[in-house]
Structures are given as C-alpha cells and as structure tokens.
Amino acid sequence: MTGISLTYHNKQKAVAGKFLLMGALILFLFILNIALGSISIPPYEILKILSGAETGRASWQGIVLDTRLPQAFTAVLAGAALGVSGLMMQTLFRNPLAGPSVLGVSSGASLGVALLMMIVSVPDIRIITQNQISSNFSVVFAAFAGAFAVLLLIMILAAKFRNNTTILIIGIMIAYIISAIVGILQFYSLKEDLQAFVIWGLGSFANVSWQQHAFFFPVVFIGIAISVFMIKPMNALLLGDNYARNLGFNTRRISILLIVAAGILVAVVTAYCGPIAFLGIAIPHLSRNLFKSSDHFINVPGTILSGMMLALFCNMVARLPGFDGALPINAITSLIGAPLVIWVIIKSKHYQKAI
Amino acid sequence: MRYYAICIFLIFVVFTSCNESHEDNGKNYSKFVFEAYSPSNPEIASGFQIRESDDVKLLEIFNPWDSTFKSQKFYLVNEKDKDLTFPDGKSIKVPIKKLVVLSASHLSFLDVLNKIDLLVGVSSVKYVVSKKFKGLVESRKIKEIGIGDHFKLEELINLSPDVVMISPQKGQSFIPLQNAGLTIIPNGDYLESDPLGRAEWIKFIGVLTGKEKEAIHIFDSIKNEYFQLKKLSETLSYRPTVITGKQYGGFWNLSGGKSYEAQFIEDAGADYLWKENYSTGGIMLDFETVYGRGLEADYWRFLVYTSQDYTYEMLKAEDGRYADFAAFKNKKVIVCNTLKKPFFQKGFLEPQVILADYIHIFHPSLLPHHQNIYYELLK
C-alpha cells in the first residue's frame, strides 16, 4: 500500500518537475521571440524598452512593444488553444488522427473568408467596412461567421446521432464539401483576390494587435477554462462511453460541450491567425509522449504548455533574422510539427502500443 | 516483296509531299528578310520587337517566363498579302477588324487611338471606370465574356474575333482557344518595369490597328514630356526618402526596388528606401522590417480603393502602429484612390502625369502650377 502511494507520489513529483521545466522553456522562448527578429536590437535596449525607459531609437520601442510582444502573446494563446482543442477532439473521437480541423470548423472559416474576398473582392471590402473598424476586422468576422455556421451544423448532428464516429465522418465530409465550394470560388476569382486568400491561408501570428487581444484573449481563455472543467469527463470517456455513463456522466452533453469548446477555440484562432490547425494534431501527441500518460489531469495542462512551446518555437523560426519575417507560419508549423510527430511515434515503443 | 514496294511507295509519297509543301511555302516567305527594324520598334519596352520587310511586319513577343528568351512570332500582313503563310508564326491581316480584350487596362490604349469600335468583346466591365465603355457593353455592342480570370469559351469563339488580346500570366494556357482557330496575342505591358516601357506598348496596338503613325506620335510626346520632367529634379541635392505599400495578412507588401513604382520615385527626385532591392514586382516583408527602416521616411505612398474620402483616421483605424510613422505625423502620406481615379485603366498611358504628380509633391517649387491628377497628399 505504501509502495503504491510512494510511486504515485514520485510520479506526481516528476510531472510537477516537467511542468516547471516546460514553464521555464516557455519563458526562455518568449524572451527569444521578443529578442530576435529581422531588425536587430541590442538585448540591453530591449530590457530598457520593457522597463519603460526611453531608447535611442523610437522605432525600436514600437517594434518591441507593439509588434513582437503582441505577436508572441498571440503565439502563446494560439498554441495553447489549438493543442487543447486537438486533445479534446482526439479524446472525444478516440482517434489519434483527430484534430481541430476534423469538425470542418476551420474549413468553415476558410469558406467565410473566401466568400468575403472573392465575392465581395478585396478592393470592395474597404467599402463595406465603411466605418473602418479596420479592414482586418471584416476578415476576422467572416472567418468567425463561417466557422460558427459549420459548428452549429455539427452540433445539431451531434445532438441527433449518438455515435461519435458518425459525427467524425460527417465532419470530414463537410470539410470536403466546403473545400470544393472554396475551389469553385477560387476558380472564378480575380488574381488579386486569389492572392489575398492564399496569403490568408498561409497564416500569421502578426495580425492580432493589442486592441484585438481584448477579444482574442478572453475567448481563448473561456475555451481553455471549459477544457479544464472537462478533465474528469474526458478521463471517463477514455474508458468508453458505457463506462462513462455508468460513472454517472451524461455522455451526450459531454460530447456537445467538447465540440463547442474545441469549435470556439479553433474558430477564434483561425479567424485571427488563418488556418494553422495542424498544430492541434501534433501538440497532444507531444504532450502524451513527454508525460507518458493519457491522464487528462496531466495532459490538459501538458498540451497547454507544449502548445505554447511549439507555437513560440515556430514563431521564432519564422522570424529568424535573415528571412525578413517572410516565412509563412503555416509552412513552419507543418515543417516542424510533422517530423516531430513522426519522431515521437518512432522513438517511443510504449507510445505505439498506447494509441 | 509487295510489302517493300508499298513501303517504298509510301516513303516516296511522304517525301515528295513534304518537298512540295516546302517549295510552295518557300515561294511565299523566302523573299522576306526581316532585318530592318520598323519605325514602331520600341526604344524602351523590352517585351516586344517589330521588324519589317516590304509591307510585312514581324511582331515578336517575348515570353517573360522563358529563360531562353524565345519569342512568339506574328506576321502582320496587309490586304494584298493576306494569303501569305510563314512556318514559324501566325499571319494576321492588319488592320484587324474584330478584337476581344481580356484585360480592362488595354481599353484605354484603344481609346487613345480612336479604335474602340474594333472591340467586340471584353472580359468584364466591373472595374472599368469609363462610362463610355459601360454604355457600349450595356447596349450590347460589346459582349462581356469573362468571369473573374476565366472566360466563357464558347461565346468567345462565337464572336470569331481576328485577335484575342490577353494579359499574360504564368502557367496560363489557351489551347482550347487556339484549337478553335483563334489568334491569341499576349500584351505584356504590365510586366514592363519602366513607366515609359508600359506606355510604349501603344506602338504594339498601333501596328495591329493600322494606327502606327499616331501611336508613334503619341508615345514620342509622352516620352519628351517625361524626360523634361525628369530633368527638372535630376540635379537636386535634396532627395526625400519614400516607403510604399501597407500591411496585409501579416505581411507588408512593398514595391520592388526595380519596379514601376520605384522608377517613378527615382525619376521624381526622391529616394525609395528599398531601391537596392532587385525585384521588379512586389516584395513581402514583416511589419518590423518596414517599421524599423521606414519609420523616419519623409513620404509614404500606397493605393486605396474606397468610395469615401480616405483620411488619416481611417489609416490609423486599420493599424494603430501606422500613426508612429513620421510620414503620418507630418501628413506626408501620398495616396491614389483607384476607385475614383483611372489609375489602372489609364495610368499606364500617362506616366508623364504620374511623374508630375510625384514631383509636385516631393518638390513643390519645381512645378508650382501643376494640378495633381492621380496621386495626392492625404489631407
């Protein structure tokens, strides 16, 4: 008896240690994100700017405070949001390939943006946003509207069908239908509009200004908060639907809550940063392997932390000096994320069995 | 044995028929030696070349994406030589009678040469500012045959134009149109990085529409005016610095250092901050690169498209950081509202006006009486 509790205690200690280490790494990466960029600013000057002192050059202040800082925050929030939503989907569908995009929510966002850019056309967007809440805002709004339309549809289906696999397949099919519609829109659009859409599709953490964080942050926070409340039910789901029901959980309500939470997170991230949902598949695998556990008490904070880490790392690579920041984030996340998942799976024999 | 006989017979037939057709064509084209350049041959534009022999002109259009500089050849023949054929290019009887234009920017070239009546089809009038064109399309004299960057194939074939003029894009194919016997001519004016080079494509329109002399005359007057203006600012010691473009989708889209826009800025006696860049198109940079380098630039130029009067407040609402730029603070933002000004429709043909606009903004004392047409300082 004491032996068991001792190993449990040891394990807890190890997990706590890993959390601390990851926290430190995140801090370190965050600092690198602030320190590195296409313009080189001496570290001493950066410290001066962060402490509020005047610097030699006005431009440095703007770069650090209004460009790098909000961008690093965006990366942190987006990484956490995508990781958690990926984890929720993988648990709900009991499928390691599930990710935030399986619900068709990010394709819904793409459809919204495609409709805006190609039917309304980029030059006209500014006419629509007559009161100029900023031209960026209309894109965010369109993405959000598209994502929510699909989310609503999925929720109705989830309420109708008990079987999660049915929902999964329907979600993927909806994604195909939407991408076909987007394809048709692309075919008949002007090249300027097409280019704008392609650029949006490459994703970027640079689009969220401080004013927009006032919306971005609370929404991500709510989504992640829901996921924290869902830890116990998610653990129950791992045992199977019948087990979960026997334990007194309303599995249908859990499914819908998980879908809503994941949907909100993906919708808001896609709206502001473009479709970078790939991170959502990779991050839960990273966390599960780091902690060698499928317990959600460990994996929810674990994915949040690994998500922050991976997103900050990708954002740093995309803006490394010399590239002039012209590397699209979506390419980087896939270039780094995909090999990472492969490596994790090859390396860990334990993991191959666990999935 | 019989097989051999048949084979030999066949080979003989093929051989002689080849020979025959060679000789036949030879009579036609061998007497033409295209060595002399036509008076319409461009001085500045690099996308086409015109040579002539007797009454036949050889129009060569260079494929901008082909590193071997292979050209597409068109032989422009008049009424009496209309049956002439050439082995390495298509013959076109000039002046052409029916023309389809798939890019709105080419319409003004026709307009200046008074040849709008040749038009039987355009891609779309959505972005055409001129009311005259819209009227013609509405009255069904000109058919709208495009949707976006695509066109209604069968309607286009049905119009049976002599020439379909297109704006070349990389990877584009017109095989179905060519199979239908249509003549596709690429008009690569927008690929010229020299402002005068773009205007010089009027000579290309001139040789096709039988308005050669007029085209040369129009271009020469544009060129002379442009060079006179350029001379004004050449010797100035004060050259303000300029940045261009705005941020979109996380990237700042600037004019390349060797682009059309950069050339104007240079010729107007100012220094484009990215002039050492070698791109003739656009460049994409992240915000901080432009912010770090361009914060103190004297002027900031971009295009807008809005039905309202664009203001500094609207610019600031797009991104709060824009207000940090010196050009913003000193009210030295240069804009052209392309919804209200025919910048894309007519600007190609008026580089001298655009240059005068710039000079008037950068060095007001040089052109005190100039009224700005395209570019204006934002108020």
pLDDT in tens, A46-90: 888 888 777 767 778 888 888 889 999 999 999 999 999 999 988
Q: Which of residues 202-221 of A touch B (CB under 8 A)?
A: 202, 204-207, 209-211
Instruction: Give the pLDDT of residue A1.
Output: 42
Q: What is the domain count for chain B?
A: 1
Residue at B354 is within a domain: yes
How far apart are alpha carbons A159 and B278 in whole angstroms? 58
Query: How many residues can be counted in chain A?
Result: 355
User: Taking CB atoms and an 8 Å cutoff, what residues of chain B touch A134?
Assistant: 317-319
Specify whether the CB–CB gap between B332 and B346 falls below 8 A.
no
Residue at B24 is within a domain: no
Q: What is the CATH number of the domain that holds B293?
A: 3.40.50.1980
Domain residues for B299? 236-377
Give me the half-sphere count of Cα atoms (radius 13 Å) on the Cβ side of residue A332. Answer: 21
Q: What is the pTM of this model?
A: 0.77
How far apart are alpha carbons B244 and B277 in whole angstroms? 13
Report which DSSP code applies to A168: H
User: What residues contact residue B47 under an 8 Å CB cut-off, 6+ apart?
Assistant: B61, B62, B64, B188, B189, B191, B192, B197, B201
Residue to test with chain A: of B153, B166, B288, most A Cβ within 10 A = B288
Sequential pLDDT tens for chain B (379 residues): 667 766 666 666 555 555 544 444 445 666 778 888 888 999 999 899 999 888 889 999 987 776 666 788 899 998 887 778 888 888 899 899 999 988 777 888 888 898 888 888 888 776 666 677 777 777 777 888 876 566 777 788 888 899 999 888 777 777 777 788 888 898 888 888 899 999 999 999 999 999 999 999 999 999 999 999 999 988 888 999 999 998 877 788 899 999 999 999 999 999 999 999 988 888 888 888 899 889 999 999 998 877 778 899 888 888 888 999 999 999 999 999 888 888 888 888 999 999 999 999 999 999 989 999 999 999 8
How far apart are alpha carbons A80 and A88 in whole angstroms? 12
Nearest chain A residue to B337, by CA = A123
ipTM over 0.90: no
Specify whether the CB–CB gap between A206 and A327 falls below 8 A.
no
Looking at domain A19-354, its CATH class is mainly alpha
Give the mean model confidence (pLDDT) for residues A310-315.
Answer: 92
Residue to test with chain A: of B277, B287, B307, B328, most A Cβ within 10 A = B287
pLDDT in tens, B6-19: 666 666 655 555 55
Tell me what the pLDDT averaged over chain A comes to: 82
* DSSP symbols for A31-68: HHHHH-SSS---HHHHHHHHTT---S-HHHHHIIIIII
Residue A195 in contact with partner chain B when CB distance is under 8 A:
no
Instruction: Give the pLDDT of residue A138.
Output: 74
Please give the interface size between A and B, counted as residue pairs whose CB atoms are below 8 Å apart.
112
What is the bridge-based pairing of β-strands B48-53 and B56-62? antiparallel
Residue B250 in contact with partner chain A when CB distance is under 8 A:
yes
Residue B296 in contact with partner chain A when CB distance is under 8 A:
yes
How far apart are alpha carbons A349 and A354 in whole angstroms? 9
